[in-house]
Structure 1
Amino acid sequence: MKVCNSIAPLRYMAGHMGYRVASMREISPDKCSFHEELLDTYQALVEYHRSMMEDRSPEVVAEYREVLIRQLKEDFVAYMERRKGL
């Protein structure tokens, strides 16, 4: 993984065993506003769907899936932070 600077091989192996790799990095919104965070996720969803429509390799689609999942988690954290401020 260090040589190719990617966890794609790990995701590939996990996927073939019926698992998926989950990041242990702390989740925090990476945009300035809740609205921008939601738009970021919309773009990730578009890219994920586009990769499937273009019949990209399962490994590439899995990468887009993981980006989308992370974006969804960021949305939830942003949502919870927003609720605390209301």
Structure 2
Amino acid sequence: MLDSELWSDFANYENCLLAWQRTVNVTSRMLHEKLGMEIFAYNLQDNLEDLVEQTTKEYFSYSPLSDHKVYVPKPSTTLKTIAQLYR
């Protein structure tokens, strides 16, 4: 299977909706940018459809952002590693 075919199988509305639901349900406050989340949710279906359209265009090129590791204490006194992406 070609990479473009694999990407088109992955980049669909249902997967984006599932990713959105999982992001909203994350309990860590560190992962939420409240205003941006509220704005995106205001017109969720159109925003997700637009996201799918933009990411499935032929000229869309993905380049990962650098990340920053954050260590958050857990109740068991160990540390949980969270990767935060930069813009």
Which has a greater percent of helix? 1
State the TM-score, normalized to the length of structure 2. Answer: 0.28
State the TM-score, normalized to the length of structure 1. Answer: 0.28
Larger Rg: 2
Bigger RCO (CA 8 Å, 6+ sep)? 1
